[in-house]
Amino acid sequence: MHLPMPIPVLRTACAQRGRSLPEMDRVAVDIAGSPVYVAAVPEADVLPLWSSLRALHESSGWWPVLSGAPSPALPPWEMLDGALDTSALGLGDKHDPVSLLQDLYARTFLMEDTDDTCRHGSPPSEAARFSAAAELVELSSPGPAPNLVHDAADLAQNLIAESRLATPDRGSRFAPEPSTPWSVASPSTLLMLVRASAGHEVPALLRWGGAGNHALEGDHHMAVLRHFHQEYGADLVGMTGDVIELLVDRAPTTPGGAALAAMEMYAYCPDIVDQGIGSVAALAEKVAPTSGWFLWWD
């Protein structure tokens, strides 16, 4: 990765695009030893400025990330402890994201079974839940594990069948909702600049722990977000203490594509279904085909 553009030069480049980059405060050093900068930006300027910075990324080396309203509650840079360790980047590159998503998908079923076996006394710790899930794997009778791709194909067939049954009065069930305003945008939004070769590196560089309840670490996020970028043109826009938001350039436009994307989103972030939209079918119909993907871990 080339040397990053000095912030004053970046400010000039933004001005040439008609955007004003505010004074940036250096708040941390990422795991690779590069500074992390942050500034508050008015809500009206947030997305235009992010878009300009994203367009300049190839020459500047800085990836822009929106981080919600200024708050002491879990800003991403507080995940850093000052230690330099680039191993997460290496792990993120080595992960096969398709295999990783399949493993995560199968684990969602195991965790449901684990929860059902642990409903007496206080809630089990995450370590206990994963230990119980591992025991279930060993004790379960031989048989095929839940398969993400196969289940996505079944879901696609259901979506197609429902669409054929739709009447003019009912309309088609495959009807994405209009993209909503970014949750990470607020009257005064924090804008971060992270030295990264791509947006998917940012969770690893910041040692982001926002999905710790699902035992996901920065290298896992890096691998999945890299896959989402390659397959759907998804770019990291925002990241708060427990939320990741993506701008999706090539969102799926068919029931089959939306079903697969929804299954992958669910494997990666089960809470958006289990504590959100309610079903993977709804995720495929209403969210996967849109340009804005919201991922939230309880």
| 58-111 pLDDT tens trace | 999 999 999 887 765 556 666 777 788 889 999 999 999 999 999 999 988 776
Give the integer Cα–Cα distance in Å for 90 and 149: 27
**Confidence class of residue 180 from pLDDT cuts 50, 70 and 90?**
low
**pLDDT average, residue stretch 189-198:** 94
What percentage of the chain has pLDDT greater than the value 70? 79
How far is the C-alpha of 208 from the C-alpha of 226, rounded, in Å?
16
d(CA 108, CA 245): 22
- Mean pLDDT score, 224-249: 94
How far apart CA 298 and CA 275 sit, in angstroms, is 8
pLDDT at residue 117 is higher than 60: no
Q: What is the pLDDT of residue 77?
A: 66
2-25 mean pLDDT: 94
Its pTM stands at 0.85
Whole-number pLDDT of residue 282: 93
Asked whether the predicted pLDDT for residue 54 surpasses 50, the reply is yes
Provide the pLDDT for residue 81. 77
Q: What is the pLDDT of residue 177?
A: 59
The residue-averaged pLDDT of 157-178 equals 64
Is residue 138 classed exposed, middle or buried when 0-12, 13-18 and 19+ CB atoms within 10 A define those classes? exposed
Q: Which residues pair with 236 in a beta bridge?
A: 246
- pLDDT, residue 126, reads 39
H helices of the chain, in order, are: 7-16, 43-60, 87-94, 97-116, 126-139, 148-165, 202-205, 218-232, 255-268, 271-272, 280-286
62 or 123: whose pLDDT is higher? 62
Inform me whether the pLDDT recorded for 13 exceeds 90: yes
According to the per-residue pLDDT averaged within each range, which of 167-171, 211-215, 234-238 is highest? 234-238
- Which tens digit of pLDDT belongs to each residue from 39-49? 999 888 988 99
pLDDT of residue 116: 43
Buried b (16+ CB within 10 A) or exposed e, 208-223: bbbbeebebbbbbbbb
What is residue 44's predicted lDDT score, i.e. its pLDDT? Answer: 85
Better pLDDT: 183 or 27: 27
pLDDT tens readout for residues 255-294: 999 999 999 999 999 999 998 999 999 999 999 999 999 9
pLDDT in tens, 139-150: 444 567 789 999
Q: What pLDDT was estimated at residue 1?
A: 59
* Residue positions counted in the chain: 298
165: Cα separation from own chain's centroid? 34
* Per-chain mean pLDDT for the chain: 83
Please list, in sequence order, all residues whose beta carbon lies within 8 angstroms of the beta carbon of residue 53, skipping any fewer than 6 positions away: 10, 14, 21, 60, 62, 64, 193
Which band of pLDDT confidence, cut at 50, 70 and 90, is reported for residue 129? very low
Segment 196-208 shows an average pLDDT of 95
Average pLDDT of the residues in 131-155? 68
Distance of alpha carbon 11 from its chain centroid, rounded?
A: 28
